Amino acid sequence: MSIEKFLQSIYLGDRYCKKAEYDKDKRIYIIQMNGISRIRSDDGQWNYYIDEDIMDGEIVFEGVESVKYEFEQFECNDEIYDIQSSSLDDGLYEFTVSGSYAVGVEHTDGNVKIIAKDIYLCDPQNPLLKIKE
């Protein structure tokens, strides 16, 4: 499955980001959501499909070369609106994660740009399995 199709199969509506962290030593960037669903219908809609839901699931970017935040203090900790990718040279991708940062009643939208080799989902119940399909 291409990265574009994979990203289109991830549903994050009505979910929130529990944590986002960059581990420079392991070259991974992890976004943990309170839940991740998959879109498997031919019409490209979620349609309340829950058979593959991952509670407290992680979106893992691996082979990370760089992470750039739109704002210095921006870190997604609320909704993730979208994840886009574009292919770069040398087998790398630029992923743009659009989401929101909330502190009390203050709410800011922004982006995180991640240059990485790959992306996959991780289920905390089976942390060694890289879900890529």
Residue type, 1: M
pTM of the model: 0.93
Contacts of 124 (CB under 8 A, 6+ apart): 54, 55, 56, 57, 58
Q: What's the domain count of the chain? A: 1
Give pLDDT, residue 1: 86
Q: Which domain holds residue 92?
A: 3-131
pLDDT < 50 stretches in the chain? none
In angstroms, the CA 33 to CA 2 distance is 22
Alpha-carbon distances, residue 18 vs 32, 94, 105, 132 (angstroms): 5, 23, 17, 21
Mean per-residue pLDDT over the chain, rounded: 94
Say which residue the tokens 């979106």 belong to. Answer: 59
